[in-house]
Amino acid sequence: MRNVSQILERKGDRVVSVRRDAPVLEAIGLMAEHHIGAVLVMDGPQLHGILSERDYARKVVLQGRSSGDTPVHAIMSTPVVCVGPMESVSECMGIMTERHIRHLPVVESGRLLGIVSIGDLVKEVIEDQKQEISYLQQYIAG
C-alpha cells in the first residue's frame, strides 16, 4: 500500500492557509474558492491549527457568532493531528477514523510538506484495489 509521500508526489504540495487573526469569513471564502473542506492556520511556516467546515458549523453557526467578527484562532482546532511522509494510507485512515477528522497535515522535521484528505486516501485505496483486481484477472487468464 502506498504512503503519504507518494500521494503528495501526485497531488502536489499546495496548501491553502489563513492567518490566526483573519476573520472566519475569510477562511470560509478560501474554502469555497478552492473547493476544499479545511484550511491550515499558519503564521509564516508555523502551523498553529486547522479550521474545517465542521469547526465553522459547530463553533460559529450553532453558537450564533458572526463570521466577519470572529477571528480564526477563536474556533480553530488545535493541537493539529499530523502525520509524517512515510505514514501508510491505512495508518492515516485509522487515525482519521479514531480522531473523527478528515484532513491530516504532513510534517517532517517541523516542516509542512502538504496535506491529505480522506478523499485522497479513499482514491488511493480504490486505485490499489483496481490494480489488484487487474493482476488477479491476468493471473487467472494466463
What's the pTM value of the predicted model, to 2 decimals?
Answer: 0.88
The structural domain count of the chain equals 1
The pLDDT score that the predictor gives to residue 100 is 95
N-terminal to C-terminal alpha carbon distance within the chain: 25
pLDDT tens track for 39-80: 999 999 999 999 999 999 999 988 888 999 999 999 999 999
Q: Residue 118 belongs to a domain with what CATH number? A: 3.10.580.10
Q: Give the range of the structural domain holding residue 106, as residue numbers without chain letter.
A: 4-141
**Are the C-beta atoms of residues 83 and 94 closer than 8 Å to each other?**
no
Q: Which three cell numbers stand for residue 39?
A: 484550511
CA neighbor of 25 nearest in space, from 62, 71, 75: 71
Angle at the Cα of 18 from the Cα atoms of 13 and 19, rounded to 5 degrees: 130
